[in-house]
């Protein structure tokens, strides 16, 4: 039987979101302002956002008065971000090759994207573009599966986002950053029969399925909603907003690097990342450290165990 070479190739998980940009925009939750304030501090900063997607986190950063340079490797996501959020600078780039000069930003931030980075390349590159005393901040919206129906929902759609959340040994042991500080917040996303479908479709493990498998998964999710949902009233999906930040400790020293092009075209076209010149060498970059603090004890976890039906 001949092989059919005409079938479309599924996108890789890290670059699958542009193919479901509408679902991502309609189905994914944003970020609460109190969490974003913790990640950035109270003063306006120059911020580089990596993996900005459609602007879920960007919108909160702009609302708080920060000067944001938003980047994403997927042009479809950046196009939607340009429509959603008035940001002066947009670049199509990855965390592994940032189109900026050394010591350009007060803060580098990533929402729901750090787990896609090649840490061996991205962490020194992030440290390179941070100013003295600058920080890396990371945030994830993670479903709170202490609630029984949320745990069942996770079994149906997969727990890739739950596994992806949180920092890893690469950051904890990185010579480029000091101790990692953490905090957590809560939020609830109201989902109805339509938006829960978008939420699931926006997940990389679902977006990369073959069409018939994807439709079968969506039917399973809608059957779940019809069992647990509240019709037109929808249902509240709880999240723990996991936040982390670390001050830059050692910055790679590089040869002079040309900054990215000044301003993108008015239509939001992409800025090409310049090549990094010269070998990198680690040099001390100050002794700024951040004390480790334990996240607060959840004193109302009993409420979260209510099984809303």
| CATH classification of the domain holding 47 | 3.40.50.150
C-alpha torsion angle, residues 186, 289, 279, 109 (rounded to 10)? 20
**Residue 80 forms part of a structural domain:** yes
pLDDT reported for residue 267: 44
pLDDT reported for residue 138: 97
**Residue 253 forms part of a structural domain:** yes
Predicted confidence band of residue 309 (pLDDT cuts 50, 70, 90): very low
Predicted confidence band of residue 285 (pLDDT cuts 50, 70, 90): very low
**Residue 87 forms part of a structural domain:** yes
Q: And the tokens for 217? A: 């998964």
Q: Show the beta-strand stretches assigned E in 93-225.
A: 105-111, 130-143, 181-191
Q: Provide the number of structural domains found in the chain.
A: 1
**Residue 211 forms part of a structural domain:** no
Report percent pLDDT > 90 for the chain: 52
Q: And the tokens for 287? A: 């002794």
User: Could you list the residue range(s) of the whole structural domain that residue 120 is in?
Assistant: 15-142+165-187+241-294
C-alpha torsion angle, residues 70, 75, 80, 86 (rounded to 10)? 30
**Residue 193 forms part of a structural domain:** no
**Residue 153 forms part of a structural domain:** no
Are the C-beta atoms of 52 and 108 separated by less than 8 Å?
Answer: no
**Residue 121 forms part of a structural domain:** yes
Among 74-78, 104-108, 140-144, top mean pLDDT goes to: 104-108
Predicted confidence band of residue 298 (pLDDT cuts 50, 70, 90): very low
**Residue 196 forms part of a structural domain:** no
pTM of the model: 0.75
Of 77 and 284, more confident: 77
| 134-189 pLDDT, tens digit each | 999 999 999 999 999 999 999 988 865 544 467 889 999 999 999 999 999 999 99
pLDDT reported for residue 255: 54
**Residue 203, class by beta-carbon neighbours within 10 Å (0-12 exposed, 13-18 middle, 19+ buried)?**
buried
Of 45 and 298, more confident: 45
């Amino acid at each position: 039987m001949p092989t059919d070479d005409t079938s479309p190739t599924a996108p890789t998980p890290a670059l699958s979101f542009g193919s479901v940009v509408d679902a991502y925009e309609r189905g994914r939750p944003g970020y609460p302002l109190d969490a974003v304030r913790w990640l950035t501090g109270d003063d306006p900063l120059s911020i580089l956002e990596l993996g900005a997607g459609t602007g879920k986190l960007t919108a909160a950063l702009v609302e708080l008065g920060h000067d944001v340079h938003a980047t994403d490797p997927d042009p479809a996501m950046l196009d939607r971000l340009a429509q959603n959020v008035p940001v002066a600078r947009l670049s199509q780039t990855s965390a592994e090759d940032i189109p900026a000069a050394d010591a350009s930003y007060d803060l580098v931030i990533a929402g729901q994207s750090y787990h896609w980075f090649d840490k061996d390349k991205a962490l020194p590159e992030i440290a390179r573009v941070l100013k003295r005393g600058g920080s890396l901040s990371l945030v994830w919206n993670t479903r709170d599966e202490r609630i029984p129906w949320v745990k069942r929902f996770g079994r149906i759609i997969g727990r890739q986002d739950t596994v992806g959340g949180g920092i890893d040994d690469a950051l904890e042991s990185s010579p480029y950053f000091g101790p990692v500080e953490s905090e957590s917040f809560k939020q609830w996303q109201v989902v109805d029969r339509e938006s829960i479908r978008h939420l699931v479709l926006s997940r990389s493990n679902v977006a990369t399925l073959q069409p018939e498998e994807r439709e079968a998964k969506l039917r399973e999710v809608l059957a779940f909603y019809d069992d647990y949902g509240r019709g037109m009233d929808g249902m509240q999906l709880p999240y723990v907003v996991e936040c982390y930040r670390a001050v830059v400790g050692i910055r790679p020293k590089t040869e002079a690097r040309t900054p990215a092009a000044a301003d993108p075209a008015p239509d939001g076209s992409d800025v090409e990342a310049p090549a990094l010149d010269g070998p990198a060498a680690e040099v001390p970059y100050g002794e700024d450290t951040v004390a480790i603090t334990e996240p607060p004890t959840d004193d109302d976890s009993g409420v979260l165990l209510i099984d809303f039906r």
